[in-house]
Structure 1
Amino acid sequence: MTRPSDHRQYAAATDRNREPILAVLQAVLPETGTVLEISSGTGQHAVFFAPRLAPRRWLPSDANPLAIDSIAAWRSHHPCETLYPPILLDASTSPWPVEQVPLPASLADSGFEPGAIAALVNINMIHISPWSATLGLFAGAERLLPPGGVLYLYGPYKQQGQHTAPSNAAFDESLRAQNPDWGVRNLEDVVAVAIAHQLQLVKTVPMPANNLSVIFQR
């Protein structure tokens, strides 16, 4: 990852995975409403998806203030009327800013409507965050999603305790070396958390580079 001369951060993987992810999102997201992206990272996905998923609105978020700066910078370079300003949001905490009364000024001033959230999108977070972030993500989905609402996940997963490729096993080892609370998760463990929070697994979609799209519905 490199940083351009402004606050935009750049992740090369985003350019590689954005088209396959978009194809799945177009097929599974509700046709209207607001999509809340949890852990938006650089903001490259947000500026790519928002205009292509209109009339849905896209609300990016992240727990890292530097990421918020990057998302805002990408948004300023690629303005889109359906892309909200980013918000600081830590999935492991509760309540989330979108649930606060009154709303934070940045949300209220943007015209955000809390009741319009129809889907949550979470890309490449679960394996590079503590398990508490996953628990918080599903708890938030239970609180926010209406009946029929969608939670979309993307990333690498073990299945039945086994890595799906040697590269994923090596990646898992490198993650755990950086932080013992990180690591490629068992899909079955994630599904169990979903069920505990009133979400059902709809389907998984194999993706490039041994990743999965995992779609849940409220």
Structure 2
Amino acid sequence: MLRNPAGERNKEAILEVLKKYIIVNTNTTLLEISSGTGLHSSFLAKYFPMTTFQPSEYEKEMFKSIVEYKRHYGVENVFEPVYVDISKDLENWDAKFNGDYLRDCRESFDYMLNINMMHISPFECSIGLFSNSSKLLKKDGILFTYGPYAVDGVLTPESNISFDQSLKSRNPSWGIRDIAELKKIAIKFSIMLIASYDLPANNKLLVWKRN
């Protein structure tokens, strides 16, 4: 099980926001894109026992850690991780959910979750996230995204500016995204930003809804 210090710090804050939106007494489904170590799905699954969590990850070497977090938290409502390249269109995915190919699971998910991916991936991944969410989410389904964001061209505080510069020095296609730019992309896929929450460590949790 891989350590995730940032995840340990933010998991409670993320949980408190998700409690405002995830229905606890109804069977629902949640697809996590870019699950990383697997901490969040298994931690959150404890609090939403009627929600089925489907972790996914681009880096297959993370699968073992995702499974180990499931075992660590002792949750049964987390499925085995699947491989997803979110930059690709849903039609090109070979991953399965509950026995069916995800490409055949249009309008099947009540929620989608994406934590700390946008700034450490090419912008095509952010576009793919909205594009594929518009196909996978049910009508009025919710997409949660978490991470650092600029607001209308302004990035604060200084630590986030330094972080953004560091990211771009490592890979020019990386960098902290501007919410205004993301909204323009999302609306093309009938997804709208309905809420923004300021969370600790200069991050935000954005709540998007499929119209």
Q: 1:15 to 1:158 in 2, by over 3 A?
A: same
Correspondence 1:130 to 2:111: no
Distance (whole Å) between structure 2 residues aligned to residue 30 and residue 135 of structure 1? 27
Match of 1:3 in 2: none
* TM-superposed deviation, 1:11: 1.3
Distance (whole Å) between structure 1 residues aligned to residue 6 and residue 34 of structure 2? 15
Match of 1:5 in 2: none
Correspondence 1:108 to 2:99: yes
* TM-superposed deviation, 1:96: 6.2
Deviation per residue, 1:9-60 (Å, 9 max, x gap): 1110111100000000111234441110000100111110111122111111
Distance (whole Å) between structure 2 residues aligned to residue 124 and residue 64 of structure 1? 14
* TM-superposed deviation, 1:108: 1.4
**Which stretches of structure 1, 4 residues or more, deviate above 3 A after TM superposition?**
113-116
Question: Among the aligned pairs, what percent are the same residue?
Answer: 34
Distance (whole Å) between structure 2 residues aligned to residue 188 and residue 160 of structure 1? 6
Higher strand share: 2
Which AA in structure 1 matches 2:3?
Answer: Y
User: TM-score if structure 2 supplies the norm length?
Assistant: 0.90
Which AA in structure 2 matches 1:211?
Answer: N
Deviation per residue, 1:83-122 (Å, 9 max, x gap): 111111111112268x76xx74x7419xxx9464111100
Distance (whole Å) between structure 1 residues aligned to residue 123 and residue 207 of structure 2? 19
2:168/2:175 contact within 8 Å kept: yes
1:20/1:207 contact within 8 Å kept: yes
Q: 1:127 to 1:163 in 2, by over 3 A?
A: same
Distance (whole Å) between structure 2 residues aligned to residue 116 and residue 198 of structure 1? 17
List alignment gaps of at least 5 residues for structure 1. Answer: 1-7
Distance (whole Å) between structure 2 residues aligned to residue 47 and residue 129 of structure 1? 23
Higher helix share: 1
Which of 139, 149, 154 is matched with 1:157 structurally?
149
Distance (whole Å) between structure 2 residues aligned to residue 27 and residue 130 of structure 1? 30
Alignment of 1:54-73 (within 5 A): 54-73=49-68
2:108/2:136 contact within 8 Å kept: no
2:108/2:137 contact within 8 Å kept: no
Distance (whole Å) between structure 2 residues aligned to residue 19 and residue 54 of structure 1? 17
Deviation per residue, 1:107-139 (Å, 9 max, x gap): 419xxx946411110000000000000011001
Which of 171, 189, 192 is matched with 1:197 structurally?
189
Distance (whole Å) between structure 1 residues aligned to residue 30 and residue 91 of structure 2? 15
Distance (whole Å) between structure 1 residues aligned to residue 30 and residue 131 of structure 2? 17
Aligned Cα root-mean-square deviation (Å): 1.9
Q: Give the number of aligned pairs.
A: 204
Q: Secondary structure at the match of 2:164?
A: helix
Q: 1:72 to 1:96 in 2, by over 3 A?
A: farther
Correspondence 1:119 to 2:111: yes
Which AA in structure 1 matches 2:39?
Answer: Q
User: TM-score if structure 1 supplies the norm length?
Assistant: 0.87
Correspondence 1:92 to 2:87: yes
Which of 13, 20, 23 is matched with 2:13 structurally?
20
List alignment gaps of at least 5 residues for structure 2. Answer: none
